[in-house]
Structure 1
Amino acid sequence: MTNSDPRPWGAAAPSGLFKRFLERAHTADSKAWARLASWFAPDIADVERLGFRARLHPRDNLSEKRVLYTPGRFDPAELAHLSSLIKEGFTFVDLGANCGGYTLHLAAKAPANARLFAIEAQPEMARRFAFNLAANQFDATVQLDELAISDERGDITFTINHHNRGESGLQGEGETITVPALPLADYLTERSIERLDAMKIDVEGLEHRILAPFFQSAPRASWPRCLIVEQLLATPETDPVALAISQGYIVERDLGRNVILSLP
């Protein structure tokens, strides 16, 4: 499934029974109503969610499905914490940006001189993000980069998960493509990012591979003051939360799956 519909945002607005059940799912923040709505769901739906306009694809991406049906359940603590950090010159990096849920939510609140960088290696998801970006007026504050962040510079193999595109990554089984990659320190340098207020990183278990060389080589002044990352308790040797704590970060909130850390 690709974002090939040439119609502008709004042309795929929900209608009929789907619209009725979708409104109830949204209003009640109800998984039960969301399941009913999903029986009638089209391939795409144009809606306003989390403060921005979006064209969402609920059939092949769990993140888009969550934003569409129950946006109140889409990482509310993480988004609230990031929103509390917004100030003049706010700088944010969204590593593994998906359809734009984090970045566009913050862009709707950010001042004109904010700088938000979205990194998405998967071409189809980058196209979806770009469509959602164009449907809003955030172009001045948001930069989308279609590439991967890894531990080395060069082309790498990226695997596509067509059942849940949010689980695509550098590991896995399925269709593979070649994408350009940069170390995180190089990316920040090339984008002239000297101070980073916050970073969300969601790269399907390879966070340690990215963060370990970054902490070793990048000046501490360039480290994100706030870091939101998924903890991997089953593999403590590659748990990015443990790695960040070893580098001086402290846990602000442990949300079970995700952890919010800050750098004193």
Structure 2
Amino acid sequence: MTGQADPAWGANAPRGIFAALLARARAGDGKMLARVASWFAPKAVDVETLGFKARLHPGDNLSEKRILYTPGRFDPVELAHLSAALHPDFVFVDIGANCGAYTLHLAVQAASGARFYAIEAQPEMAHRFRFNLAASDIAASVQLDELALSDTRGEIAFTVNRHNRGESGLEGGGETIRVPALPLADYVAERNVTSIDALKIDVEGQEHRILAPFFASTPETAWPRILVVEQLLATPEKDPVQLALSHGYTVVRDLGRNVILERAGGT
């Protein structure tokens, strides 16, 4: 990210042999074609993907790479489940929003009365999210907050993985920066969010650290009806799926890496 203004969306449209290979990879959702196309890829690529306009950077972010080359393989069950839950006053919270794939995919489909709250602590990824949001035609309200959610309030250490920015987080190797942090209960209270239809959280193993105090301090009426989380089978004491189950959620779909849960008795 630089201090210069970004060229308008479309300036980095695929060209030449890369454009041809990319089109074939996207049409067939083929990993081999995607690998070949990546040999010719520029640093940034402007495409329409998952229903929104994006400038994607496949060289340093696995999520953007997947969205660029094989969008049909990017969490299709999770996105379809959330899309089916949309209604005029839908409220969605996206913790670890990355370049905006979940939020923007849903927001372009949503009515103007829907509200989307995206949280991304990494300055470069927040910058990319804002660009994609501005490039896309979205009627719903989308709010991006550049901060971390944690179990404490204040400034907190955050590590940036420049090889795969999606693996940046509150723990791990990489460049360390300081970012503002809030507990989830404080975040929703300060934004007057009293009910959440769906919440997606992907924060590199820190889900329990965020969700446990939220469940402990927030009325059940404010808990999200749908949860999309990554399960941590190797560390069951930190597994957000087990945490959700202990608070009355049931598994709707176990997709291996991700799990979709809903509040028992929810509609």
TM range (shorter): over 0.9
CA RMSD of aligned residues (A): 1.2
How far does the alpha carbon of each residue in 1:121-155 deviate from its partner, in whole angstroms, 9 at most, with x for none? 00000000000001013275111100000001100
Amino acid at match of 1:249: Y
Find the aligned partners of 2:180 and 2:128 in 1 and give their Cα distance: 19
What is the Cα deviation at residue 88 of structure 1?
Answer: 1.2
- 1:176 is matched with 176
CA distance in 2, matches of 1:173, 1:83: 35
Partner Cα distance (1:2, 1:32) in 2:
33
User: Could you report, residue by residue, the CA deviation over 1:6-48 in whole angstroms, capped at 9, with x for unpaired residues?
Assistant: 2100010000010000000000010011001000000000000
Q: Residue 154 of structure 1 corresponds to which residue in structure 2?
A: 154
Contact 1:195 1:223 in 2 (8 A): yes
Aligned-pair identity (%): 68
Whether the 8 Å CA contact 1:3–1:128 is kept in 2: the answer is no
Q: Secondary structure at the match of 1:10?
A: coil
Change (3 A) 1:168 1:4: farther
Contact (CA 8 Å) 2:90, 2:115: kept in 1 or not? yes
Q: Partner residue of 2:98?
A: 98
Deviations 1:178-212 (A, max 9, x none): 00000000000111110100000000000000111
Tell me the TM-score normalized by structure 2: 0.97
Offset at residue 173 of structure 1 (A) = 1.4
1:196-211 pair list within 5 angstroms: 196-211=196-211
TM-score (norm 1): 0.98
1:23-42 matches, cutoff 5 A: 23-42=23-42
The amino acid that maps onto 1:251 is V
Aligned pairs, number:
264
Tell me which amino acid in the other structure corresponds to 2:67: V
Q: What residue number does 1:69 align with?
A: 69
Equivalent in the alignment of 2:51: 51
Gaps of 5+ in 1: none
- Equivalent position amino acid for 2:129 in 1: F
**Structure 2 unmatched runs, 5+:** none
> AA paired with 2:34?
A
**Residue in structure 2 matched with residue 111 of structure 1 by the alignment:** 111
Equivalents in 1 of 2:167, 2:180: separation in Å? 19
Q: Which runs of 4+ in 1 moved over 2 A?
A: 1-6, 137-140
